[in-house]
């Protein structure tokens, strides 16, 4: 891996942010999210998913569900 990517990942791990992934059901998004969580680069939010589907994705990929969050669906 390039030195640039190594530095970027080190910075992301040191100051982990929460990223909103609006296309939470897209298989490409899920694959990318699993890599992000596996490397400990960020916390994720997928607003279009149900909490049960987020838990299923997390358990399927052997990741902790708390790193892959789904916000409440209540409307104002």
12 lies in which domain range?
A: 3-69
pLDDT of residue 61: 53
Q: What angle do CA 22, 4, 28 make, to 5 degrees?
A: 25
**Cα(20)–Cα(32) distance, rounded to whole angstroms?**
13
Q: What tens digit of pLDDT does each residue of 20-68 get? A: 888 777 888 888 888 898 999 999 887 655 555 655 655 555 444 445 5
Query: Tokens for 62?
Result: 């052997």
For the entire predicted model, the pTM comes to 0.58
Q: What is the CATH number of the domain that holds 13?
A: 3.40.50.10950
* Residue 74 resides in a domain: no
pLDDT at 20: 87
**Per the structure, how many domains does the chain have?**
1
Q: Taking a C-beta distance cutoff of 8 angstroms, is the pair 38, 63 a contact?
A: yes
Q: Is residue 76 part of a domain?
A: no
Q: Is residue 41 part of a domain?
A: yes
Alpha helix locations (H) across 15-75? 27-38, 51-60
pLDDT digits (tens, 9 = 90+) for 13-28: 999 999 888 877 788 8
> Does 74 have pLDDT greater than 70?
no
């Amino acid at each position: 891996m390039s030195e640039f990517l190594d530095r970027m990942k080190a910075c992301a791990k040191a100051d982990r942010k929460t990223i909103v992934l609006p296309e939470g059901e897209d298989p490409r998004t899920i694959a990318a999210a699993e890599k992000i969580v596996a490397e400990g680069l960020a916390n994720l939010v997928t607003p279009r998913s149900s909490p049960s589907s987020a838990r299923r994705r997390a358990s399927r990929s052997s990741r902790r569900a708390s790193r892959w969050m789904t916000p409440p669906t209540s409307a104002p």
